[in-house]
Amino acid sequence: MKTYPLHSLSLEEAIELQFRVVDCMTKEFQGHESLSRGDLGVVMGLNKPITTSRAEKVIARIFDAEACVLVRGAGSAAIRFGLHTMLQCGQKILVHRAPVYTTTAVSFQMLGLVPVEADFNDLTEIRRILEADPEIRGALVQYTRQTLNDRYDMREVIKTIKETRDIPILTDDNYAVMKVKEIGVQCGADLSCFSSFKLLGPEGIGIVVGKKKYVDQLVAESYSGGMQTQGHEALDVLHGLVYAPVALAIQAQVNDTCVRRLVSGEIPEVKDAFLANAQSKVLLVEFREPIAEAVLREAEKLGAAPNPVGAESKYEMVPMFYRVSGTFRKADPTLEQRMIRINPMRAGADTILDIIKTSVKRVRQCLQNRQENETED
């Protein structure tokens, strides 16, 4: 099966990104402040903690952006707020022709936005759709793949949209930020939105980074004290951004190693293995027989996490063995019976392959016992 996963940062590039994050912190914080837990409340003139304001400036520096705001509600709320600043109820928004992420679809409904589809893998079609429909007032581009066949380049898609029509573009950078060289706003988008929880940060904090006019609108509208990200939370966001790049680059290396070993035939029951951005960049393992669900049950007994928490959150250490993503199941419902996805998290290749081998062995033994019992009956 042919897939087009995003190109991950090398370990050396991830180390440089870690250094960049720390360097940006030194531009906004004095030394003793980075060793504190920050301040609280709606400080006069900022309407938020001083620590939070400085952390937002750090994040804007990291991503070469004009401004940043931390919002409550994780990545989904960040996208929702971003769309709200760009578009009005009833307006049309350009999206990729593929299953839309569930929370994004809900955002469209809540905001009264009307999606217009174009195949982002085909730049000519993007131009044609935009030229044919002058009512399209904005665009949403999801960085990671929505189907197995997706292969579009973020920079090229943004460039094509902007050259055809000067409309605001929001990118959903969840599952890609800190793993790729440039996020959407660095490729020419107006706003990039993502969750800090997916970057070893605190639960519930979303990040909106990009054009100052949109960020300022969000800040002006979010004046309630209860909506503010407190200083200790903002510092935790930065802590996650410091440690995420290297951890995620090591994870990418483990993925590559697992693919090489599985494709070489190390486990005969595995028909194929490849990488795909099924949300996060993960290892997809296809079995020769429809044993996926049984393998997942056995893998959990052997220590594998049976479900995600936040996709590379600070809580996830052991490898996750899980069913293929909802968007992929919509594209091909039969995948659920013969394929699983594995996110290494902080585990090594030996651990992952040992769990696969033992799980398959147990499933085959169980099937053999069942057949023998049926024969005896």
Is the alpha carbon torsion for 113, 114, 118, 124 positive or negative? negative
Residues of the chain with CATH 3.90.1150.130: 245-365
CATH number of the domain at 11-243, please?
3.40.640.10
Residues of the chain with CATH 3.40.640.10: 11-243
Report d(CA 232, CA 52) in Å as an integer: 8
Report d(CA 233, CA 198) in Å as an integer: 14
**Residue 197 CA neighbour count, 13 Å, CB half:** 17
pLDDT on residue 279: 66
pLDDT on residue 246: 97
Please give the helix or strand (H or E) that residue 369 lies within, else none: helix 349-376
Max CA distance (Å), the chain: 81
pLDDT (tens digit, 9 = 90+) per residue, 277-301? 766 788 999 999 999 999 999 999 9
Report d(CA 182, CA 240) in Å as an integer: 18
Question: What 8-state DSSP symbol labels residue 193?
Answer: E
Report d(CA 330, CA 333) in Å as an integer: 6
pLDDT on residue 293: 95
Which CATH number applies to 245-365: 2.60.120.260, 3.90.1150.130, 3.40.1080.10, 3.40.250.10?
3.90.1150.130
pLDDT on residue 278: 61
Which residue stretches of the chain have pLDDT < 50? none
pLDDT on residue 311: 82
Question: What 8-state DSSP symbol labels residue 199?
Answer: G
Is the alpha carbon torsion for 31, 34, 39, 45 positive or negative? positive
pLDDT on residue 375: 72
Report d(CA 272, CA 284) in Å as an integer: 8
